[in-house]
Structure 1
Amino acid sequence: MHPRHSIFDSCLRLSSKRWKAFLLMISALLTACSTPPPHERPALDVPTAYKQGVQGSAVWQTAQPQDSVPGAWWTLFADPALDALQERAASGNQNVALAVARLRAARAALDSAGAAGLPSLGATASSTRARSGTTADNTTQARTRNSQALGLNASWELDLWGRLSGGVDAARASVEASAGDLAAMRLSVQATVVQTYFALRAAEAQVLLLDDTLTAYERSWQLTRNRQRAGVASAADVAQAEAQYKSTQVQRLEAQTSRAQLEHALAALTGQAPAALSVPATAALPAPPTVPAQLPSRLLERRPDIAAAQQRVAAANAQIGVAQAAFFPAITLSGAAGYRGTELSSLLNAPNLFWSLGPALAVSLFDGGARSAAVESARATHDQAVASYRQTVLTALQEVEDNLAAATALEREQQLQAEAVAAAQRALDVVGNQYRAGTVGYLNVLTAQTTVLSVQRNLIDVRSRRLAAVNMLLKNVAGSWAAERL
């Protein structure tokens, strides 16, 4: 026997089980090479307690983002007008509508990624009529031919290396990130509506204060003119009283302009033209809810921006596996069946039947380093997502610290400012009596009146800033600091 035959026969005698085991081992090794690194939440070194909180209270723990922002959290301020504005913003704000559309697009991308792993089936039908020309030596005459075809074709790419499943994982994480973005946008819009509304009410309070002040200043101006006619006040006193009255009118106009602009901003936030919204004036600033002395660490788990950043890390991690899978061959099973003939009337006859079935393998042998660059790009994108996640967490901690400090300090400032208003009013009463008695000049009255107006306006400003700080703190902890809502 020829030596080559004995070798061939020995190869044929190899057990098929051994071949299967060998192929399975090779497949497992290649699959392992294409598998992305396991996804883990990025580590972050954070303190054990809030700097502005109660010593010893926990500030951070491994979070399980819930994307669960409490509904109607702004009702803590107990303001029906604010509730009505929030209802309009929920349905009309265009930034929220944009985030909703992005979430729909992400879900469609997930459906598309999932469909890529399923078999595809198509149908074809064609009818052509063609004429062939004669040959150069006229041995073949020109002929006109008809061609009819009707068939089905199917294909299915085998996902041996995880390229398709990795794309599905990345798309699913992107959907979760988009859902977090939507929740974060809604929370941001709600907080902005609250902030703008309180600023509008503060501007109204300033207008009301200036109205009352103008009434008092007008009386002082009239009193000074009367005293001048009586010969006990100078023209300079009258001029000072007039200047004070006119400058306060300017301040009132500025407050009215600010109020109008804030109303326009609320219209845009609720998805309306400025002419379509009119907020009734009340000049009433609500009392802020009491900030608890200790905030539970689990509150930050509920922040949707943190959840979205974490999902983007997962999506980027999955894309590493997709890029690595490009190094391995794509294996596709395909088949086709149908009828092909020259006459439409006899197209479906058995002799015209055709079919085909078989696998196809495609692999890139040289790409100039494009696939290696794609893997490196995917890893860099993952590192970017990790850095973004960590920065999001750090920013969240900073925001809580900032507004805890502000809310605590402004509560004390409001108390002190109220005492300053009372003291300035007492001083004005004394100086007014002295001026009417002729023991002091009008400059003393002017100074006392200016002081009263200043401290009263400062009190309104402190109250507004305290409301803003509490509102932002509520936004920082995703809408509520009540532990039972977690």
Structure 2
Amino acid sequence: MKKTRICKQVSLQSLARGAGGTIALSLLISGCAVGPNFTAPAAPVKSENYSYTPSPTASQTEASAGNAGTSQTLVSVQDIPAAWWQVFRSEALDKLIRDALTKSPTLASAQAALRQAQENYNAQYGSSQFPTVTGSLNGEREHASAVSTGIPGGTIFNLYNASVNVSYTVDVFGANKRGLEGLQAGIDYQRYEVEAAYLTLTSNLVTTAIREASYRAQLQATQEILDAQSRQLEVIEQQFKVGAIAKASFLSQRNLVAQTRASLPGLQKSLEQTRNQLAVYAGRLPSDPGLPEFNLDALQLPQELPVSIPSALVRQRPDIRAAESLLHQASAQIGVATANQYPQFSLTGSYGFASTKTNNLFSENMSFWSLAGGLTAPIFNAGSLSAKRRAAVASYDQAAAQYRSTVLSAFQNVADSLRALEFDAQTLKQQADVESIAKETLDLTTKQYKLGSVSSLTLLDAKRTYQTARVSLIQAQANRYADTAALFQSMGGGWWNRPALTDISSATGAAITDNKAASTE
């Protein structure tokens, strides 16, 4: 915060010179706003600092076989595209997300909150920056007593009144200006909340689609393994019936088949629940038809990943920008609390007509007018105003601490994503090697078993190893896709490269209004 601006000092004598003096004084010192002038916090790191982690991350990840095994290069000078999810080259995913952006209730809620903040600002701006003008037209029939009129029995008469009244609060010390500044900061906060909702929605859709593809692949792999085990069980059962193998070997194979079959319902449940979640993110009921199915083979891992310099991250993350707006709002409230400790100036005026008859109501001799200037100054409030200012300062300190916490969490998100991508590539390569060796071992063991050189237990162990390796490989592939999406999310998602969103909340409100009108008819 910058140092409080000092307004021009005026004497109490000059404040008491009537309406003309009040007007002259307000014009003389108008525009003076007490309280701190807000400046955005500086980035926590220098522009030339390109590192998010204590030790530099690899500029290129390791490669392995398959779509998810592509080597990825981190590019620090490349901007992030607005439709960042298109890097996965999935037309179905792109279509789903674009459709969800027109239906999401979460996004509609954030947009409605933004419209509310804008209208609150408009209302406050109109009432504080311009005079309030009201008109009145009154008519009454009155009986005046003999005491007040001097006429025995009193008198009954009509009284008609037509007038225009004007009032204006002169913002000498900037209370209204700071209040509007705080409301504008509230608009900025809600605008960044919309961007945060947009980023969260698109990220959730991508990661949920990846998770669905992972469960689908695991389910398919497990079913294939079960089919192979079931065929093997038929062979072993025949061998057991003719006494070629011991019963223990037959029971072990049956147990393996049962264990594999028992894992299918859990995977199916996870797959269905994930699809239900995907439908809700897309703004649909789980029962709605047309939800696309996703497979890992249909997704393409991007070869280049844009990584913004750390000093630019604070301008790209909508959560940081939102926290900065709350800090700005708290700063403006200090100005409001400070201005409330100074005198308040007001101007009022009225012009109208009053008559006992309507035919001469607007005659010149029936007119009246008034012009007044007022000053209200705090004299004694038992320290209430000072306490409110100290509370505003404490609120600013709280917002500053929350801002720093948001920045720290943002940098942690990026660091976690970069490390995850580095280790995901290594894990995937190792899992691919494990799966390849397990498959080769299983094939060799199967041949040896047919020749009678190994026992059935050895074959069962080889099958278990291959099953575990294959499922682990699928999970490693899915993790790499998901962490790639997490990096784009942690970088802000490129919302600054996107045109303004269509306000789906206003369309929803219009539809509700139309429905109400139709039902009324």
Report the TM-score range of the alignment, normalised by the length of the smaller protein: 0.7 to 0.9
What is the TM-score of this pair, normalised by structure 2? 0.80
* SS at 2:129 equivalent: coil
Match of 1:432 in 2: 446
Partners of 2:306 and 2:405 lie apart in 1 by 26
| CA drift at 1:457 | 0.5
| 8 Å contact kept, 2:58–2:422 | no
1:414 to 428, 444, 457: 428
| CA drift at 1:438 | 2.1
Match of 2:302 in 1: 289
Query: Could you tell which deviates more after superposition, 392-401 or 235-244?
Result: 235-244
Query: Greater relative contact order (Cα 8 A, min sep 6): structure 1 or 2?
Result: 2
Give runs of aligned pairs for residues 72-91 of structure 1, distance below 5 A.
72-91=83-102
| CA drift at 1:474 | 0.5
Partners of 1:462 and 1:282 lie apart in 2 by 17
1:176 to 188, 194, 199: 188
| CA drift at 1:229 | 2.1
Shift in CA distance, 99/480, structure 1 to aligned 2, threshold 3 Å: closer
Shift in CA distance, 38/349, structure 1 to aligned 2, threshold 3 Å: closer
Amino acid at match of 2:123: S
Shift in CA distance, 346/282, structure 1 to aligned 2, threshold 3 Å: closer
Q: Which runs of 5+ in 2 are unaligned?
A: 1-16, 60-78, 498-521
Shift in CA distance, 56/89, structure 1 to aligned 2, threshold 3 Å: closer
1:323 to 317, 332, 337: 337
Match of 2:4 in 1: none
Match of 2:52 in 1: 50
Amino acid at match of 1:273: L
Backbone CA RMSD of aligned residues: 3.0
Give runs of aligned pairs for residues 199-238 of structure 1, distance below 5 A.
199-238=211-250
Amino acid at match of 1:296: I
2:278 to 261, 266, 273: 266
Matched, 1:304 2:309: no
Match of 2:400 in 1: 386
What is the TM-score of this pair, normalised by structure 1? 0.86
* SS at 1:256 equivalent: helix
1:467 to 458, 481, 493: 481
Partners of 1:409 and 1:295 lie apart in 2 by 20
Query: Could you tell which deviates more after superposition, 468-477 or 87-96?
Result: 87-96
Shift in CA distance, 427/36, structure 1 to aligned 2, threshold 3 Å: same
| CA drift at 1:259 | 0.9
1:348 to 362, 365, 373: 362
Partners of 1:103 and 1:282 lie apart in 2 by 34
| CA drift at 1:288 | 2.1
Amino acid at match of 1:73: W
Runs of 4+ in 1 over 6 A off after TM superposition: none
Query: 1:268-303 CA deviation, whole Å, 9 max, x = no partner?
Result: 111111101443435334232235596433551211
1:119 to 100, 116, 131: 131
Between the two proteins, the alignment pairs up a number of residues equal to 451
Give runs of aligned pairs for residues 134-173 of structure 1, distance below 5 A.
140-173=152-185
Matched, 1:94 2:88: no
Higher alpha-carbon Rg: 1
Amino acid at match of 2:39: E
Partners of 1:44 and 1:289 lie apart in 2 by 29
Match of 1:186 in 2: 198
Amino acid at match of 1:395: S
| CA drift at 1:240 | 1.9
Partners of 2:407 and 2:152 lie apart in 1 by 81
Amino acid at match of 1:51: T
Query: 1:136-174 CA deviation, whole Å, 9 max, x = no partner?
Result: 9x9842432321111111111111101111111111122
| 8 Å contact kept, 1:337–1:353 | yes
| 8 Å contact kept, 1:92–1:270 | yes
Shift in CA distance, 24/280, structure 1 to aligned 2, threshold 3 Å: closer
